[in-house]
Amino acid sequence: MGQCVTKCQTPSSTLGNRNGDCDPSSQLHGKRGAGHHVKQQPPFGKPGGDILIRGLEATTEACQVPTCSGDAGRESKSRLEGLFECYKDEWEDAILEEGMARFCDDLGVDPAEFRMLLLAWKFQAATMCIFTRKEFFDGCKALSADSIDGICARFPSLLTEAKQENKFKDLYHFTFQFGLDPEVGQRSLHLEIAIALWKLVFTQNTPPVLDQWLNFLTENPLGITRISQDTWNVFLDFTKVIEPDFSNYNEDEAWPSLFDTFVEWEMERRKSEEEGRDALSSGPEEQI
């Protein structure tokens, strides 16, 4: 996003854009909106340009709108109005890339970290790098927060909530939709974006098979370029029912063929690795 849950930063913090033009390990938000152009960054895994925030007049203190006398609901709405105005775009009634960068900076969080994905989830943000007025107001109301400090205070409970199985499932499904570009009617994720989002969404609920799955996709023996929503959803089921050693995997069950190939690839990799270790251990004896 501006990059919170972000795009177009360094490889360690960027998720890249939906066209696969930025680093996959951390993109989540790239600027969108009429008249705004996003500088294209190298593919995932290659250096991108950090957003440097200097000389910004809108500080955290400036965005903490003081409480006024009167009805508490009206006071809270007034504070939300002031908070939103601190970050909204000059021409559009939404928070875009530059405002998102300042918002993340004032929250004291890395734009690409898991907490920002959780915030986008709670705001039900439809597009990376954009919080519309409605998303921002509804999200803050859902959090019962109307200030930077108030939002920050909700992060621990959000992290706890995301550990609940049903809540995590909702977050997981949201993450796929969040990674799509609605402007071009995308229905599947570019492979690099999917890899980055899998890394991000599984930050604290990491399944044992995740690294092997991502290694398989990175090596990409099938030459796939996109991940469908069905594949995305099935992977969550796969992590829940299949043992780490794949001992209970049955290719005759209704798993997509991609998962059959993954299991075969991983089992062959493990076999080769084991044979390599055996060769190293027996090598000196054979030379005598």
Cα–Cα distance, 9 to 220 (Å, whole number): 25
Q: Is 232 exposed, middle or buried (0-12, 13-18, 19+ CB in 10 A)?
A: buried
Q: Based on the domain organization, do 148 and 202 belong to the same domain? A: no
Those residues whose C-beta lies under 8 Å from the C-beta of residue 18, and which sit 6 or more positions away, are 30, 128, 179, 180, 181, 186, 189, 190, 193
Mean per-residue pLDDT of the chain: 79
Task: Indicate whether 18 belongs to any domain.
Answer: no
Q: Are 196 and 113 in contact (CB under 8 A)?
A: no
- Both tokens of 62, joined, read 């400036």
Listed ranges 76-80, 201-205, 248-252; the one with the highest mean pLDDT: 201-205
Task: Indicate whether 262 belongs to any domain.
Answer: yes
Average pLDDT over every residue of 189-207: 96
pLDDT in tens, 209-221: 999 999 999 999 8
pLDDT in tens, 113-142: 999 999 999 999 999 889 999 999 999 999
Q: Based on the domain organization, do 169 and 157 belong to the same domain? A: no
Average pLDDT over every residue of 257-269: 94
Determine the pLDDT at residue 72: 65
* Cα three-residue angle 49-52-55, rounded to 5 degrees: 160
Cα–Cα distance, 207 to 36 (Å, whole number): 39
| pTM score | 0.75
Task: Indicate whether 228 belongs to any domain.
Answer: yes
Bigger pLDDT: 37 vs 206: 206
Determine the pLDDT at residue 10: 34
- The CATH number given to whatever domain includes residue 178 is 1.10.238.200
Structural domain count, the chain: 2
Domain residues for the domain of 173 are 164-271
Q: Based on the domain organization, do 260 and 178 belong to the same domain? A: yes
Task: Indicate whether 35 belongs to any domain.
Answer: no
Share of the chain above pLDDT 90, in %: 61
Average pLDDT over every residue of 258-277: 89
- The CATH number given to whatever domain includes residue 151 is 1.10.238.10
- The answer to which of 20-34, 97-111, 197-211 has the lowest mean pLDDT is 20-34
Determine the pLDDT at residue 75: 84
For residue 225, give Cα distances in angstroms to 183, 217, 273.
Answer: 20, 10, 27
Q: Based on the domain organization, do 127 and 213 belong to the same domain? A: no
Q: Is 83 exposed, middle or buried (0-12, 13-18, 19+ CB in 10 A)?
A: buried
Whether the pLDDT of residue 31 is over 70: the answer is no
Average pLDDT over every residue of 260-283: 83
pLDDT in tens, 35-87: 443 333 332 233 333 332 333 333 444 455 444 444 666 888 899 999 999 99
Determine the pLDDT at residue 132: 97
Which of 139, 163, 187 is the C-terminal boundary of a domain?
163
Task: Indicate whether 64 belongs to any domain.
Answer: no
Cα–Cα distance, 206 to 202 (Å, whole number): 5
Task: Indicate whether 204 belongs to any domain.
Answer: yes
Determine the pLDDT at residue 76: 84
Cα–Cα distance, 132 to 136 (Å, whole number): 6
Which of 163, 188, 221 is the C-terminal boundary of a domain?
163
Which of 146, 163, 180 is the C-terminal boundary of a domain?
163
Whether the pLDDT of residue 282 is over 80: the answer is no
